Structure 1
Amino acid sequence: MQDSDVIKALVRAVDILKEDHKNTTIEVDEKALNYFAASSNGDVRKAINGLEVAINSTNPNSEGVILIDEEVARDCTQSKVFNYDMSGDSHYDILSAFQKSIRGSDADAAVHYLARLVKAGDIQSICRRLMVIASEDIGLAYPNAAMIVKSCVDSANMLGFPEARIPLAQATLVLATAPKSNSVVCAIDAALQDIEQVNIGDIPVHLKDAHYSVAKALGRGIEYKYPHNYENNYIKQQYLPDNLKSRNYYVPGKNKNEKVIFDYWKKVEE
């Protein structure tokens, strides 16, 4: 959206805000409107957020007027508006862009969106999102990423801002530059979907708990084969319920780490 269109929206917003402050006079000069529009990059909502923050955080002068000039507008858009945005859609937009940039292996974009979140002081959302990404988007392609991220998150929470920005940036760059796999989230979501939509059937009797006196009389555990008694600690037997015995939830990702593991188990099974 053009700046001129944003300014028109701001003028309408000023009129509405005046209705909410009937006991106070509000004046927003032209330079302030221009600055809100220019700094919003065409985002009307962001511009109006900045205007609202400026009005709500500015005390009336001696004449009882809340005067929003360019200096006030600049101060709000450079600091307070970031915190304000974190309570609305912008918060989720930035987190979304943050995760998608990491998923897309764009380290520069990932650090940019991290900087926005750091500027807002939103340490908990950053930490939660980094820990999810480590398993959702990197997963078994680089399993150690989860441990590295957890360590960085612990450090960030212990340090607090401004120092927390450093381990958070480390975690972000580790994830952005790591090989990617979504096999973990695909596997668990497929299994959950079956539980909700399919008649999953009973647990195979040889897998049921047999640690009580009449268990074997009920057939529990009798035909269970203990894998550690066999070569390579493996013996083929049925683990899934009968109704799902041919189901494959885990599909290895196309990356070096999962390929090595897949090839190993293929040889063992053969």
Structure 2
Amino acid sequence: MNNEPLAYRMRPRTIDEVVGQQDIIGPQTAIYKMIKNGHVPSMLLYGEPGIGKTSIAHAIAGTSGLPFIALNATTSGKKDVEQVVAESRITGKVLLFLDEIHRFNKLQQDALLPHVESGAIVLIGATTENPFHDVNPAIRSRCGEIKQLKRLRHKDIVQLLNAALTDPQRGLGHLDIDISPAQVERIAEGTNGDARKALTMLESIVVASDEKDGKFLVDDSMIEQMMKRIGVFGDKKGSHFYNLLSALQKSVRGSDVNASLYYLAHLLENGDLTAVTRRLLVMAYEDIGLANPAVGGHVLAACQSADRLGLPEARIPLAQAVVEMCLSEKSNSAYKALDAAIDAIHKGKTGDIPPHLRDTHYAGSAELGHGGYRYPHDTPIGSFGGWVDQEYLPKEVKSAEFYKPIVAGEEKKFAGIYEKLKSFRKKP
């Protein structure tokens, strides 16, 4: 077999060979038409690993005929950039593919940016991180196109695998391989839209299969065994990881149990238990809140249990916590009220603390006019406990009302008490 990996050999040679990403570089897109007409714009390609960023860059180079230079920003220095600039002076315009562009340092930028701006260098940057968060604005401003690539569809992966199985020059078509369409479908299912992993898995499965009379016999058990060895869930602490956290919280907030468990499963497969438990705990107070105050304690107990158990057992209490939060009544009134109070302070809506609320635990407090506080516990009111009608806010903001109760779950009771106490204010 060829020493180069199958995923490398099967990269598209032109933009017409690109599989998937048709909304980015398909025949009806502006980028496709520009490249076909001889104009290649500088661009940023953003997306998860294995979904075609490098392949698209190679395909653009193959279609345009521009000299192609590839660098990785994690290992390249200013000297590498200067060599690219020198190459452009000799050969004319070059296409520079810069992987991990979010790690581009200032020295590299200073050496390269004027040449990108002049058009001597066409820059195609690839990143797994959100370019609006992690790519320097100077780079973004010189890239006319910023495109987010999507995970490849199942049928795209199947198409790639079949192409690799039948291509005798670049793929595995020169080998006699006994593999069924159902087995190809299963490999595609197990790679989660990652073309590189799909092709790598196919090659590994074929190499590991038994050979009889020159034919490789692919077995279902070998496919399942190899699939367990290849991770398909994305990079921990990358943009995709934070997107998963966001999707989990929004699914719980939307009371969708199945979606919530799906995203929890992805997160736990990444193995970062601490980040997951922190997010679950804040969700209990941010999204469930006063509608079901007991959930905060339940989720804390589940998170502490998960930390003590570790994975994989940690999934058991966390699954229970997520399902309970999904199906619980929900309220965000408490923290929204606090945010409203913080906003009022930032806007200068402040005043002096009323004298009767100030500290009186020292000699001379009365001379300063402090005192007159009435102790609510001395005045029982029904079954509530104790309450007296006195001002607590500074007089400058005494009419402020930050809390807006939501009539849901347990907060329905709190809302009733809140409105009742408001009705007692300033009444005989």
Common topology (TM > 0.5): yes
Instruction: Tell me what 1:70 maps to.
Output: 202
* Compared CA separation, residues 79 and 96, structure 1 to 2 (3 A): farther
Q: Distance in 2 between matches of 1:128 and 1:200?
A: 34
Q: Which runs of 5+ in 1 are unaligned?
A: 22-27, 42-46, 55-66
* Compared CA separation, residues 219 and 17, structure 1 to 2 (3 A): farther
- The one-letter amino acid paired with 1:70 is L
Matched-pair contact (CA < 8 Å) for 2:201–2:227: no
User: How far did residue 90 of structure 1 move?
Assistant: 0.5
Instruction: Tell me what 2:402 maps to.
Output: 249
Give 1:153-164 correspondences, 5 Å limit.
Answer: 153-164=303-314
* Compared CA separation, residues 76 and 247, structure 1 to 2 (3 A): farther
Instruction: Tell me what 1:5 maps to.
Output: 20
Alignment partner of 1:80 is 2:95 = no
User: How far did residue 80 of structure 1 move?
Assistant: 3.3
Matched-pair contact (CA < 8 Å) for 1:99–1:133: yes
- The one-letter amino acid paired with 2:285 is S
Give 1:252-267 correspondences, 5 Å limit.
Answer: 252-267=405-420
Matched-pair contact (CA < 8 Å) for 1:36–1:77: no
Alignment partner of 1:113 is 2:245 = no
Number of matched pairs: 240
Moved more, 149-158 or 249-258: 249-258
Instruction: Tell me what 2:131 maps to.
Output: none
- Partner SS, residue 201 of structure 1: coil
Q: Which runs of 5+ in 2 are unaligned?
A: 1-17, 22-50, 60-67, 76-159, 166-170, 172-183, 206-222
Alignment partner of 1:229 is 2:378 = yes
Q: Distance in 2 between matches of 1:17 and 1:125?
A: 38
* Compared CA separation, residues 143 and 208, structure 1 to 2 (3 A): same
User: How far did residue 68 of structure 1 move?
Assistant: 4.1
- Partner SS, residue 215 of structure 1: coil
* Compared CA separation, residues 120 and 217, structure 1 to 2 (3 A): same
Alignment partner of 1:194 is 2:194 = no
TM-score (normalised: structure 1): 0.77
1:17-63 superposed Cα distances (whole Å, 9 cap, x missing partner): 97559xxxxxx99649997899454xxxxx4xx74xx6xxxxxxxxx
User: How far did residue 86 of structure 1 move?
Assistant: 2.2
- The one-letter amino acid paired with 2:339 is D
2:357 aligned to 207, 214, 217, which one? 207
Q: Distance in 1 between matches of 2:232 and 2:336?
A: 37
Moved more, 183-192 or 94-103: 183-192
Q: Give structure 1 regions of 4+ aligned residues with deviation exceeding 2 angstroms.
A: 5-21, 28-41, 67-82, 84-87, 264-270
Structure with greater strand share of residues: 2
Structure having greater relative contact order (Cα 8 Å, sep ≥ 6): 1
Q: Distance in 2 between matches of 1:87 and 1:97?
A: 15
- Partner SS, residue 154 of structure 1: helix
User: How far did residue 12 of structure 1 move?
Assistant: 3.7
Q: Distance in 1 between matches of 2:372 and 2:364?
A: 16
Matched-pair contact (CA < 8 Å) for 2:191–2:232: no
Q: Distance in 1 between matches of 2:265 and 2:189?
A: 22
